[in-house]
Amino acid sequence: MIDGPLLWYLNRGTGFVILGLFTATTVLGILATGGRAGRGVPRFVTQSLHRNLALVSVSLLAAHVGTAVADGYVDIRWWQALVPYVGSTYLPLWLGLGTLALDLVLVVVLTSLVRARLGYRSWRAVHLLAYAGWAAAMAHTLGIGTDVRARTGWADLVVAGCAAVVAGAAVLRVARLAVPAGSRA
Amino acid sequence: MSAPPVAASDAPRVLEGPALLAGLGGGPGLAAHRRQHGELPGVGTDDLLAALGRLRVRGRGGAAFPFETKLRTVAGRRRPVLVVNLSEGEPASAKDCALATARPHLVLDGVDATAAALGAREVHVVLPGERPRVTSAVRAALAERPVRRRTVVHTADSRFVAGQARAALELIAGRPNLPVTSWTPEAVSGHRGRPTLLSNAETWAQVGLLVLRGERGYAALGTADEPGTTLVTLSAATPTVLEVPFGTPWRDVLPTSWAGRPVLVGGFHGSWVSWEELAAGTVSVDAMRAAGTPLGAGVLICPEEPPAAYTARLVGYLAGQSAGRCGPCRHGLPALAAAVGTGDQERTTELARLVTGRGACAHPDGTARLVRSLARLRVAS
Amino acid sequence: MTARLRVDWPACRARGLCHELLPELVDLDEWGYPIVGGEVTPDLLADARAAVRMCPRLALRLEEPRPL
C-alpha cells in the first residue's frame, strides 16, 4: 500500500474529470444519432466523438479505480471495484454505486465493441444501461465525493452542471422525436 | 387506408378444367379426390427433379421461378421446411381460393409427395386473413388426411404485402407479418435458418398433379416449350377462375365484354396492355414476359374506368398497403400516387425510378411497373 | 467481381452517416434515404467498411465477393 496524499488527490481529481467526460459522452450519445443528416456538424463526427470520448473516459476510469485500490488512506480492495457493496468497509453504499457505474460502463463498452455481431436490438437494449451508469456515477459522486461532502461550492456546481446538460439534451432529443420523420427538411 | 379497387373474394366462379380443375362435380373431399386421381405414389427426389426440369414447372406466385431450382437447392440440405403460401394477398386474384375450396387435396398431395421425397418433417400453411371460406376448407381438408408430419396453420394479415415470401416467413416465426430484407435465399436459409421451400398453393397443386398423373399425362396439355396448364382469374365483382393450357390464344379466354378495352395483366403490380396486343397473343409465361407484360399470378382486370383513373386509384391503394418501414416505399408511394393523380409525367417517372429496388420487398417495384406500363399504353395508343 | 453495398431497408432511418462517409457511392434522396450507386471499387473499400461500421442502426452491409 502506498501512503501519502498523491494517490488520494489523483483519485479525487480523476473522479471529477470522469464525471465531466461521461456527462459529455452521454450528451453526445443523446444528440449524435437522433434525427437525420443535415446542417451543422456531420453526424459521423458527433458519433466518432461520442465513441472516442467514451474510450478516453474508460481509460481515466481505470486510473480512478486503480488509485482508489492502491491508496492506503481508505481500505478499498481490488475486487470491490467490480462487486458492489459486499464486504466493503468504506462507505459501502456510495462506493457500491461507483462499482455499479463501472460495471455498467464495462458492459456498455464491451457490447459496443462487438456491436455488429450482437445485432442492433440486443446492442441497443444494453446500451440504454449507459443512462443508469451515468446516474449511478452521479449518485456515487454526491455520496462519496470528499469535495461534495465538504460542501465546497465548485463541486456542487460541477455536479449540478452535469445534471443540467444531460437533462437539456434529453429534452431536446424528446422534442425532436415528437416531430414525425420525413417532415424535417 | 383506402379500400382496394377490387375486393378479395372467397367465393369465385370456378370453371371445370382439363387437369387441375377436372372433376369439380365430385366435391372437394378426399374420397372423391382419390377416386379421381388414385393414391399418391411415392417418388424419389431425383426423379421428381428430373421431371420438374423437363416440364419446366414454374412458380405460380407471380415470379415464375423454376420450381426445380428451388427444390434442388433445398434437397441438398438438412432439416428442410415446406411452406404453402395460400395467403393470396392480391385481392383481385382468386385462383388459390378456388384451389383451396375445390381442389385442396391436389395442393396437399403436392406438398406430401415433396415432403416424403425430401424427408421433410415440418410443413406450414399460410392462409388468408380475409377469405374465411378458404380457412375452413383447408382445415377440413387437413383433417381428412392421415397425419404424417407436423403441419402448422397460420393466418396472414389482411395486407397486400402479407403474402410476400419473407413476410410469410416472419409470420410463421411468430414475428409481425411484414417483409424483411433477405440476405440469403430462403431455400438456403429460411425459417429458423433451415432450408425452406416456400411456394404458392397452385405451384404445389401443379407438383401434385405431376406426381398423380405422371409426366406423360401432365405434358398432354400445353405446348412443347411450356407443358401443362395455368390458372387465370378474370376479375369481376364475382371473379371467374379458369384453367387454361399454355399456348391457348387469349382470344379464346377473354370475355367478349372486354373487347376493345385495355386490360391490366398480372394484377395490381401488373402491366397495362391494349386489347389488340393481348388478343393477338397466347397464354405463355415466356412470350408475355418478353413482350413486357408478364403474366404474373394470372390475374386479369378490365375496369370500367379509363386506365389513367384506375391506375391513380390503384397506386393510392398500394401506397396505403406499404408496410411503412422502408423509407423509399413509405414516402415514395404516396408521392407517386399524388403525381399519377395530377398527371405530372416527369415527377411520376422520377418517383418510379426512386422507389424501384430500394425496399425490403418488391412492393414499390411492382407499383412502379404498373405506373410505367400506363405510360407505355398511352404511347402505344 | 467487386464488393457491393446493400441497405437493410426496414432498419434504415435516414441518419445519413453513410452518405457523409462515402459520398462517392452513396447519395441521399429527397427524404434522406441512401441511394447506392455502383459497386465498391478497391480504393473505396476502406471507406465502405467505415460506413458499415458507423451506421447507427447497423443498416448497411458490405457483400464481399466470395472466393471462387
pLDDT tens per residue, range B305-340: 999 999 999 999 999 999 999 999 999 999 999 999
Q: Which amino acid is at A18?
A: I
Q: Give CA–CA dist B315/B268, Å, rounded.
A: 9
**Chain C residues in contact with B331 (beta carbon < 8 A):** 30-31, 33
Do the chains contact at C21 and A44, CB–CB below 8 Å?
yes
| C20 has a pLDDT exceeding 90 | yes
- C31 → closest Cβ in B180, B331, B359: B331
Do the chains contact at B359 and C8, CB–CB below 8 Å?
no
Q: Which of B169, B180, B326 to mutate to test the interface with C (most CBs of C within 10 A)?
A: B326
Nearest CA-CA partner of B230 in B64, B100, B9, B11: B64
Say if B335 is an interface residue toward chain A (CB within 8 Å): no
**Chain B residues in contact with C12 (beta carbon < 8 A):** 326-327
| Beta sheet of B271-273, edge-to-edge order | B13-14, B240-245, B229-234, B299-301, B263-265, B271-273
**Chain A residues in contact with B327 (beta carbon < 8 A):** 182
DSSP C64: P
Closest residue in A to C34 (Cα–Cα): A37
Q: According to the model, what pLDDT value does residue B381 have?
A: 66
Nearest CA-CA partner of C45 in C18, C26, C22, C66: C22
Q: Hey, what's the cell of B28?
A: 372437394
Burial class (CB in 10 A: 0-12, 13-18, 19+), B95: buried
Nearest CA to CA, how far is B327 from chain A (Å)?
9
Question: Which residue, chain included where needed, has cell 443523446?
Answer: A30
Nearest CA-CA partner of C62 in B357, C47, A123, A48: C47
Say if B181 is an interface residue toward chain C (CB within 8 Å): yes
pLDDT tens per residue across span A142-151: 888 766 667 7
Q: Which of residues B242 and A76 earns the better pLDDT score?
A: B242
Q: Give CA–CA dist C54/C52, Å, rounded.
A: 6
Q: Give CA–CA dist B354/B352, Å, rounded.
A: 5
| B114 has a pLDDT exceeding 50 | yes
pLDDT tens per residue across span B53-76: 999 999 999 999 999 999 999 998
Q: Hey, what's the cell of A115?
A: 456491436
**Chain B residues in contact with A182 (beta carbon < 8 A):** 327, 330-331
Nearest CA to CA, how far is A51 from chain B (Å)?
27
Nearest CA to CA, how far is A29 from chain C (Å)?
11
Span B365-376, average pLDDT:
95
Q: According to the model, what pLDDT value does residue B2 have?
A: 73
Q: Give the DSSP per-residue string, C5-61.
A: EEE-TTT-----HHHHH-TTTEEE-TTS-EEE-S-B-GGGHHHHHHHHHH-TT--EE
Instruction: Answer for the pair B315, B333: CB distance below 8 angstroms, yes or no.
Output: yes
Do the chains contact at C10 and B183, CB–CB below 8 Å?
no
Q: What's phi and psi for A71, nearest 5 deg?
A: -65, 135
Q: Which of residues A85 and B231 earns the better pLDDT score?
A: B231
- C16 → closest Cβ in A43, A116, A182: A43
Q: Which of B169, B170, B181, B188 to mutate to test the interface with C (most CBs of C within 10 A)?
A: B181
Q: Give CA–CA dist B115/A51, Å, rounded.
A: 51
Q: Give the DSSP per-residue string, B290-347.
A: HTT---TTTEEE--SS-HHHHHHHHHHHHHHTS-S-SHHHHHHHHHHHHHHHHT-HHH
Q: Which helix (H) or strand (E) holds A65?
A: helix A43-70
Neighbouring chains to C with at least 3 Cβ pairs closer than 8 Å: A, B
| Alpha carbon separation from A158 to A19, A49, A152, B29, B374 (Å, rounded) | 9, 22, 11, 80, 66
Q: Which residues of chain A have pLDDT under 70?
A: 1-4, 33-39, 72, 87-88, 90, 146-149, 177-185
- C9 → closest Cβ in B331, B354, B359: B359
Q: Which residues of A28-65 are buried (b: 16+ CB within 10 A; e: fewer)?
A: bbbbbbbbbbeeeeebbebbbbbbebbeebbebbeebb
Query: Cβ neighbours of residue B89 under 8 Å, at least 6 residues apart?
Result: B128, B156, B159, B160, B161, B162, B163, B164
Cα Rg, chain A, nearest whole Å: 18
pLDDT tens per residue across span B341-352: 999 999 999 999
**Chain A residues in contact with C23 (beta carbon < 8 A):** none
**Chain C residues in contact with A182 (beta carbon < 8 A):** 31
Question: Which residue, chain included where needed, has cell 464525471?
Answer: A19
Work out the mean pLDDT of chain C and round it to a whole number: 91
- A115 → closest Cβ in C20, C32, C58: C58
The angle subtended at Cα B41 by Cα B35 and Cα B47, nearest 5°, is 140
Nearest CA-CA partner of C44 in C25, C62, C31, C61: C25
Interface ipTM above 0.90? yes
Q: According to the model, what pLDDT value does residue B124 have?
A: 98
Find the distance separating the first CA and the last CA of chain B, reported in whole Å: 33
Do the chains contact at A47 and C11, CB–CB below 8 Å?
no
For residues A111, A117, A121 and A123, what is the CA-based torsion angle, rounded to 10 degrees? Answer: 10
Closest residue in B to C8 (Cα–Cα): B181
**Chain C residues in contact with B183 (beta carbon < 8 A):** 6, 61
**Chain A residues in contact with C52 (beta carbon < 8 A):** 116
Query: Cβ neighbours of residue A168 under 8 Å, at least 6 residues apart?
Result: none
What is the pTM for the complete model shown? Answer: 0.90
Q: Give CA–CA dist A152/A141, Å, rounded.
A: 13
